[in-house]
Amino acid sequence: DAKTTQPTSMDCAEGRAANLPCNHSTISGNEYVYWYRQIHSQGPQYIIHGLKNNETNEMASLIITEDRKSSTLILPHATLRDTAVYYCIVRVYNQGGKLIFGQGTELSVKP
Amino acid sequence: GAVVSQHPSRVICKSGTSVKIECRSLDFQATTMFWYRQFPKQSLMLMATSNEGSKATYEQGVEKDKFLINHASLTLSTLTVTSAHPEDSSFYICSAGQITNEQFFGPGTRLTVL
């Protein structure tokens, strides 16, 4: 699976959009981009995933560049409860495939 | 979304004893479950892949005789930490794979070995 690079930490004002970048320059054509987050002392929570088209769900939007070498997770209106570590993971789409976690981005949403 | 539970949520044991952690998928069947370990201020580290009805596959550096994994049914996998020592104190997390390929994680088990 391709390696990802994320900033160690970011701050965001409550109510503002949080834009979390991820670089995955060695991504293969059959690898998807997944985002999970982990709130302190809890299990990770699935957020969103995509292959090459932009994706949106009730939690977030995922913007993938045309060359697929980077992506951005967007939380449109961050709240204090969005404070967590966000993990960007790329992997081949196969049923039940394992996830390899990097260090992630620690997002702090401030009042 | 799918729900994965873990039991117990927190356990404290004496050095040398064995501890069993259960992971259950509550509303879906999971042919594959995964076990992770997380030390303070660190990311999740995959320990092993648990497949229903077959032997678990361990990641490099993980002692299979120390961390016994059993996946007895499509909804239950167990991790037994045998002869636990203080260095085994950690946050253990399981996840289960669903047919849509999303993995759902349990809430984690905090193990403290005295």
Beta carbons within 8 Å of B98's beta carbon, 6+ residues apart: A96, B2, B28, B30, B104
A45 touches chain B (CB under 8 A): yes
Tens digit of each residue's pLDDT (9 = 90 or more) over B9-42: 999 999 999 999 999 999 888 888 999 999 999 9
**B74 close to A (CB below 8 A):** no
CB-based contact A33:A55 (threshold 8 Å): no
- Per-chain mean pLDDT for chain B: 92
Give the mean pLDDT of A55-84: 97
Does residue A1 surpass a pLDDT of 90?
Answer: no
d(CA A71, CA A5): 11
A97 lies within 8 A of chain B by CB: yes
When scoring A30, A45, A95 by the number of chain B Cβ atoms within 10 A, the one with the most, hence best to mutate, is A95
pLDDT at A10: 97
Considering only CB atoms, A96 lies closest to which of B44, B97, B108, namely: B97
CB-based contact B43 A104, cutoff 8 Å? yes
Nearest Cα to Cα of residue B19 among B32, B31, B6: B6
Nearest to A101 among B31, B44, B107 (CB): B44
Q: Which 8-state DSSP code applies to residue B59?
A: P
**How many H helices and E strands in chain B?**
0, 11
What 8-state DSSP symbol labels residue A103?
Answer: -
Percent of chain B clearing pLDDT 70 (strictly above) = 96
Nearest CB among A43, A95, A102 relative to B101 is that of: A95
B53 and chain A in contact, CB less than 8 A: no
Nearest to A60 by CA among A96, A84, A42: A84
| Closest C-alpha among B26, B6, B96, B21 to residue A98 | B96
**B92-111 residue pLDDT tens:** 999 998 656 678 899 999 99
User: Span A59-73, mean pLDDT?
Assistant: 97
Exposure class string for B75-93: b at 16+ Cβ within 10 A, else e: bbbbbebeebeeebbbbbb
Residue in B95, B99, B108 closest to A42 by CB? B108
